[in-house]
Amino acid sequence: MQFYDSLEKVPAGFGPSAVAIGKFDGVHAGHRKVIQALRARASADGLTATAVTFDRHPLSLLRPESCPEPLLSNAQKVERLATAGLDATIMLEFTREFSEQSPETFVETILVDALNARIVLVGSDFRFGVKGSGTVDTLRELGTTHGFEVVLIDDVVADGTERRASSTWVRELLAAGEVEKAAEVLGQLPSIRSTVVHGHERGRALGYPTANLSPAVEGFIPADGVYAAWYTVDGERYGAAVSIGNNPTFEGVPDKTVEGHLFDVTLDLYDTTVEVAFVKYIRGMRKFSGMDALAEQMALDEAEIRALLGYPPKS
């Protein structure tokens, strides 16, 4: 997939293209169906299937107090758009100046001059230009002027529900620890990414050494608790029991600490970037009477997670 982080980097003569515009936060199942429709139209008409997205949620600039926490970092978003089969992604910097351009300028500079768009796919609630003054009808009028077709994409309802697949819903599910349902809406396991750092080695003292993640996490961390998960390291996947929270059995543990005990492997992961994909919520975070009681519960957690992930019982 071609990737450009500004219009200036899009090569002259790009396209002609079929374009989908959106935040694409999460690149969830709804986004993927939009991209599937985009690819189909692009393939049929010999066009370049292109996503236009932004480097931040517009609310982070316009109304920061109302801006939701992102589901993905920009790097993760680009990676997932690439796996969805796009030919190109353009990630635009959402600045104050960008937010104040007219709908006509938005269309002319991005869709016409840079991308040579022939088809533009949008949802019914699409707004663009200063203060969201551009609507789908505005876009259709400009399409008639500039020679591109506007295709309206219906909302995608998540399988087995009557609710529209959305990033808001994914956030709600992850905040409640419902990672299995979040995976259905996302179309893949919810995951985070960070670098392994040194911890207090309390898990090692209990016989359960853990890989602790740096607080600089990419992605949305689920609710506090213990999870069955997969750690991916250099392309290799390892089953793990993952704890999220402040571990109230001990004093002084920061909130939202993420640490995982990998099964049947000893790796030096310090300063290594890992991805953690969450499979199932096992239990909530709670305070134990002491280290022995905690170790006993950790053994029960491991046994349950091993069975869930298809690992043999611990010998």
What are the structural domains, with CATH classification, of the chain?
Answer: 2-153 (3.40.50.620), 190-309 (2.40.30.30)
Pick from 241, 225, 237, 223: nearest CA to 275: 237
Instruction: Please compute Rg for the chain using Cα positions.
Output: 23
State which H helix or E strand residue 170 sits in. helix 167-175
Grouping H, G, I as helix, E, B as strand and the rest as coil, residue 116 is coil
Q: Cβ atoms within 10 A of the Cβ of 190, count?
A: 28
pLDDT of residue 246: 72
pTM greater than 0.75 (yes/no): yes
Q: Cis omega before residue 209 (within 30°)? A: no
Taking every pair of Cα atoms in the chain, the longest distance, rounded to a whole number of angstroms, is 73
Bridging pattern class, strands 225-233 and 236-245 = antiparallel
Grouping H, G, I as helix, E, B as strand and the rest as coil, residue 95 is coil
pLDDT of residue 205: 47
3-state secondary structure 149-172: EEEEECCCECCCCCCECCHHHHHH
pLDDT of residue 91: 97
Which residue type, as a one-letter code, is found at position 45?
D
pLDDT tens series, the chain, 315 aa: 999 999 999 999 999 999 999 999 999 988 998 999 999 999 999 999 999 999 999 899 889 999 999 999 999 999 999 999 999 999 999 999 999 999 999 999 999 999 999 999 998 888 999 998 999 999 999 999 999 999 998 777 766 667 888 999 999 999 999 999 999 999 999 999 999 998 665 555 455 778 999 999 999 999 999 999 999 999 999 999 999 987 655 555 556 889 999 999 988 899 999 999 999 999 998 777 667 777 788 889 999 999 999 999 987
The first and second tokens of residue 96, run together, are 């104050």
Say if residues 276 and 260 touch (Cβ distance below 8 Å): yes
Q: What are phi and psi of 35, to 5 degrees?
A: -65, -35
